Amino acid sequence: MIPTQTFGRTGHESTRVLFGAAALGAMSQDRADATIAQVVEAGINHFDTAAGYGDSEILLAPWLSEHRDEIFLATKTGQRSGDAARAELEKSLTRMGVDNVDLIQLHNLVEDAEWEIAHDSGGAAAAMIAARDEGLVKHIGVTGHGVRIPGMHLRSLEAFDYDSVLFPYNLSMLDNPAYRHDVEQLLAVCAERNVAVQTIKSIACGRWPADYEGRRFSWYEPLTDPEAIARATSFVLGQPNLYVNSTSDATKLAMVFDAAKAFGEGVPAATADEVRADMDTYGVTPLFDGSDLERI
C-alpha cells in the first residue's frame, strides 16, 4: 500500500503521493474517467487541481458527484485581489459541483508585487480567510515554482499562518546551495508549525530540447525509465514529512504509484548517490534557474 501521513494540521491521513490533477487538463472525459479510476485503484485519497489546469476541474466533476467525501480535495487560485480570488474560487466550486474544498491555495505566489497585493487587506489571502469562515474552504495554502519560492514561502508564513506549502524538490535543484539553504530553512519552519509540505517535479529530467518533435504530455521532460522514476520518487518519500504530487504526464502515473507502494512495503528509499547516478545517465538538469519560466 502507498503509505499515509497526517497532512499537517488538517488531520487528514493523506497518501504520501497526491494526485496532481493537472494531468487531466486536456483529456477527453472518457480518458479522464479512466485516469481517475487508475488513481483510485492505487489508493490515492488526495487530489490536487487548480482553476488554471485547463478543464481539470470540469473533468473531475462526474466522479466527485458520487465520491466527494472519499478524498481530500485541493484547488488553487492564481488571482491576487480579493474579489478576483473569491470569484475564481466560486467558479471552481461550480465547475467541480461541490459545496467546499478541503484546501484552497494561492498559486505560484513568487513575484514581490503580486505578493503585496495578495497579502493586502483587500487581497486574496483575506478573501480566502473569509471563505474559510463561511465554510467554502477548510484550509489555506500557498504554492510556487522556481528557485525563489522557498524563500517566498518563508515570507508568506511570516505574513499568514498557511496550512500548507508546495514547491519543487529534486536532487538537481537541491544541488544549488542557495536553493538547498532556503529549502532547509522552510522545512524547519514547517516542521515547527505543523505546515504540510507538498513537493513537485520529483521525476523532472529537464526542459524539452529545442529540437524535440515527439509527443509531450507535460510542459517539462520527465524521466522515462521505470527504475529511475522509482528512485526519484522514493528519494523524496525518504525525506520526513514530504508529499509527492504526481506528474502531469499521466503515462507515468503507474510508475510513480508502484514506487510509492514499494516504499510503503519496506523497499529502502533511493540514496542521493543512486539518484545522482541517474542524473548523469539521463542528463538531468535543473528545471528552474531563475528565468521567466518560474512565472508559469
Residue 292 has pLDDT above 80, yes or no: no
Residue 170 has pLDDT above 60, yes or no: yes
Indicate the pLDDT class of residue 238, thresholds 50, 70 and 90. Answer: very high
> Under 8 Å CB-to-CB from 117, ≥6 apart: which residues?
80, 81, 123, 124
Show the domain range for 28.
4-295
Phi and psi torsions of 50, nearest 5°: -165, 155
Residue range 47-57, pLDDT digits in tens: 999 999 999 99
The set of cell numbers assigned to 13 is: 491521513
Q: How does 60-96 read in b/e, with b if 16+ C-beta sit within 10 Å? A: bbebbeeebeebbbbbbbbbbbbebbbebbeebbebb
What's residue 149's pLDDT? 97
- DSSP of 175-240: TSHHHHHHHHHHHHHHHHHT-EEEEE-TTEEESPPTT--S--SSSSEEP--HHHHHHHHHHHHTST
Residue from 237, 227, 226 nearest 264 by CA: 237
How many domains is the chain partitioned into structurally?
1
What's residue 86's pLDDT? 98
What's residue 220's pLDDT? 87
Section 102-124 average pLDDT: 97
- Mean residue pLDDT across the chain: 95
Q: How many CB atoms lie within 10 A of CB 52?
A: 18
Q: How many CB atoms lie within 10 A of CB 6?
A: 13
The set of cell numbers assigned to 56 is: 481539470
Rounded Cα distance between 274 and 21, Å, is 29
Residue range 17-49, pLDDT digits in tens: 999 999 999 999 999 999 999 999 999 999 999
pLDDT above 90 as % of the chain? 91
Beta strand 204-206 with 221-222 is: antiparallel
* CB-based contact 40:66 (threshold 8 Å): no
Q: What is the pTM of this model?
A: 0.96
Number of H helices, E strands in the chain: 11, 12
Phi and psi torsions of 196, nearest 5°: -70, 140
CATH number of 268's domain = 3.20.20.100
What's residue 134's pLDDT? 98
Indicate the pLDDT class of residue 211, thresholds 50, 70 and 90. Answer: confident
Q: Between the CA of residue 16 and those of 165, 168, 281, what are the distances in Å?
A: 15, 15, 27
What's residue 191's pLDDT? 98
What's residue 17's pLDDT? 98
Residue 9 has pLDDT above 90, yes or no: yes
